């Protein structure tokens, strides 16, 4: 849980996302509200419910990105789901609970990573001992062992092959749904988990190089040092208190009564989602999870339907409405250059790995933005995603030949961009496929 103020949260988001101030502001308040709630005691703390958000705006303008970055900032378990997924044939009402089950798995992953970091130094030493055991045997004299330890630390043993025993944790074992169990309430039971518990995991000998063995042993030793049950408990708590679910395409399940047909199932999906958002308890294989304080961010373009076409109960549960604006040409140039890990920075860095010095001039950036705007207008507006397709095309040749061009300096300017994509961009039919 972060104690950043809303202003600080917005400025963090500003590093990655251009514009969309209202949406950033809304999520910043939502996050701060969580922190405020944590400061409360007793009953009042339970009463404070999250103010879920409805983001309204065209595709590719940063709705998901804002939410994802917010979650990252807060270290919160985050899951994106398309609401339309639940209208597909074969889905039944309880399937929406899978959202929470998936969120728990994500939460476990996050907590495990943090805990592993905490024991890394200790695990590192333990892994080293195991590599040494494999290299010189457990009975070698201390002198021999220490001399090998030195060689190992100097990286002299990296390519040597050793045999190590790894305990398979049951991960990757098939999962079985229990048929006929009321509402798949158990979720999925992993055979691996059952066997793992019963037999304490199976040991599998493997031959690997010292260099490859270390990370494998490291994660195994780290897992030994951390209490798995405590991880699960903390993950569940983290999901309950900090979890964020991003429900995309909510507009597509908003059906007005007049249309009939498929709308029945749309309304059905809304009804299924409602308890999750209102607060319910979902059973997972790790235990019960209360959804009362999970933050839901719903999003949609609402070109056809309106937020008022959603079930009234659902509307009430999404009280904060924010509109995201379509991106302008200026936004595109800023997205290309100013954001942390912008596409231009990424391209330059990637070419750098090949020894090619890539320079993308201001003029080139302007040309890429122009073309993105043009194709968005003529073919389909996919927002900032268009920048990716355009830049890919611009750098296509260079990407292919870069390994032969180590030491070269390549300057991409406006003309370079135009010669590579202007024809395509001018031809709507072609750009439909290529840009």
15 binds ligand ATP per the rule CB under 6 A = no
Contact 16, 65 (CB under 8 A): yes
Return d(Cα 323, Cα 54) in angstroms, integer: 8
Decide: is 391 part of the binding site for ligand ATP (CB under 6 A). no
- 241 appears as a binding residue in the annotation: no
Residue among 20 and 98 whose Cβ is closer to ligand ATP: 20
Kindly state whether residue 244 participates in binding ligand ATP, applying the rule CB under 6 A. Answer: no
Helix, strand, or coil here: 243? Answer: coil
292 is in an annotated binding site: no
3 state SS of 139: coil
**Site residues (CB under 6 A) for ligand ATP, limited to 245-274:** 248
Query: Is 64 labelled a binding residue?
Result: yes
Out of 19, 77, 187, 196, name the contact with ligand ATP by CB under 6 A: 19
Contact flag: residue 12 with ligand ATP (CB under 6 A): no
How many residues make up the chain in this entry? 435
Piece in contact with ligand ATP (CB under 6 A), picked from 15-23, 168-176, 203-211, 213-221:
15-23
Contact 63, 24 (CB under 8 A): no
Residue 383 gets the label, from left (phi > 0), alpha (psi -120 to 50) or beta, of left
> Do the annotations mark residue 193 as ligand-binding?
no
CB of 387 to ligand ATP, least distance (A): 7
How far apart CA 41 and CA 155 sit, in angstroms, is: 54
Q: For residues 324 and 425, which CB has a smaller minimum distance to ligand ATP in the complex?
A: 324
Q: How far apart are CA 156 and CA 186, in angstroms?
A: 50
User: At closest approach, how far in Å is the CB of 318 from ligand ATP?
Assistant: 16
Residue 65 interacting with ligand ATP (CB under 6 A): yes
The residue within the footprint of ligand ATP, chosen from 385, 403, 411, 419 (CB under 6 A), is: 385
Q: Which is nearer to ligand ATP, 320 or 410 (CB)?
A: 320
160-177 b/e with 16+ CB inside 10 Å = b? eebebebeebbeeeeeee
Answer for which of 17, 162, 164, 298 binds ligand ATP (CB under 6 A) is 17
User: Residue written as tokens 């001039």?
Assistant: 361
- The answer to whether 255 and 267 have CB atoms below 8 angstroms apart is yes
**Using an 8 Å Cβ cutoff, are 325 and 306 in contact?**
no
| Position 329 contacts ligand ATP (CB under 6 A) | no
- Applying CB under 6 A, among 6, 9, 12, 20 the residue interacting with ligand ATP is 20
Distance CA(106)–CA(401), nearest Å, equals 39
Residue 61 labelled as part of a binding site: yes
Closer residue to ligand ATP (CB): 80 or 405: 80
x/- letters, 130..169, toward ligand ATP (CB under 6 A): ----------------------------------------
Q: Rounded distance, CA 424 to CA 416, Å?
A: 14
d(C-alpha 357, C-alpha 348), whole Å: 7
Structure tokens at 2: 């972060």
Asked if 376 interacts with ligand ATP (CB under 6 A), we say no
The residues facing 295 across adjacent strands are 244
Q: Which residues pair with 246 in a beta bridge?
A: 80, 297
63 belongs to the binding site for ligand ATP (CB under 6 A): yes
| The one segment of 13-21, 253-261, 289-297, 361-369 that binds ligand ATP by CB under 6 A | 13-21
Binding to ligand ATP (CB under 6 A) within 292-321 occurs at: 299
- Annotation: binding site for ATP: 18, 60-65, 248, 313, 385
Which residue ranges make up the site for ligand ATP (CB under 6 A)?
17-20, 59-65, 248, 299, 327, 335, 339, 383-385
């Amino acid at each position: 849980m972060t104690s950043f103020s809303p202003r600080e949260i917005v400025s963090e988001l500003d590093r990655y996302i251009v514009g969309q101030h209202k949406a950033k502001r809304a999520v910043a308040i939502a996050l701060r509200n969580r922190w405020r709630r944590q400061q409360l005691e007793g009953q009042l703390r339970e009463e404070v419910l999250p103010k879920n958000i409805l983001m309204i705006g065209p595709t590719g303008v940063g709705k998901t990105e804002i939410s994802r970055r917010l979650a990252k900032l807060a270290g919160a378990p985050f899951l994106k789901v398309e609401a339309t997924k639940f209208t597909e044939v074969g889905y039944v009402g309880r399937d929406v609970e899978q959202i929470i089950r998936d969120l728990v798995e994500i939460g476990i992953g996050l907590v495990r990573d943090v805990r592993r970091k905490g024991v890394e130094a200790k695990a590192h030493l333990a892994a080293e001992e195991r590599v040494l055991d494999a290299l010189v045997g457990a009975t070698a004299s201390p002198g021999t062992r220490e001399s090998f330890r030195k060689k190992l630390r100097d990286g002299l043993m990296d390519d040597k092959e050793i045999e190590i025993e790894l305990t398979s944790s049951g991960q990757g074992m098939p999962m079985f749904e229990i048929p006929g169990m009321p509402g798949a309430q158990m979720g999925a039971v992993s055979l691996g988990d059952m066997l793992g518990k019963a037999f304490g995991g199976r040991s599998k000998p493997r031959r690997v190089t010292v260099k490859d063995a270390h990370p494998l042993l490291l994660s195994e030793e780290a897992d030994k040092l951390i209490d798995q049950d405590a991880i699960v408990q903390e993950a569940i708590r983290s999901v309950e208190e900090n979890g964020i679910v991003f429900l995309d395409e909510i507009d597509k399940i908003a059906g007005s009564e007049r249309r009939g047909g498929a709308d029945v199932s749309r309304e059905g999906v809304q009804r299924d989602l409602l308890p999750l958002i209102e607060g319910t308890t979902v059973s997972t294989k790790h235990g019960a999870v209360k959804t009362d304080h999970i933050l839901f961010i719903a999003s949609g373009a609402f070109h056809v339907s309106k937020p008022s076409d959603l079930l009234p109960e659902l509307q009430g549960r999404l009280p904060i409405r924010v509109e995201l604006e379509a991106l302008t040409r200026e936004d595109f140039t800023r997205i290309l250059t100013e954001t942390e890990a912008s596409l231009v920075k990424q391209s330059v860095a990637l070419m750098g790995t090949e020894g090619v010095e890539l320079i993308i001039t201001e003029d080139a950036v302007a040309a890429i933005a122009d073309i993105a705007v043009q194709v968005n207008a003529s073919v389909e507006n996919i927002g900032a995603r268009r920048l990716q397709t355009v830049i890919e095309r611009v750098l296509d040749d260079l990407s292919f030949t870069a390994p032969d061009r180590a030491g070269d300096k390549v300057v991409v300017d406006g003309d370079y961009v135009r010669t590579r994509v202007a024809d395509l961009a001018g031809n709507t039919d072609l750009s439909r496929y290529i840009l």
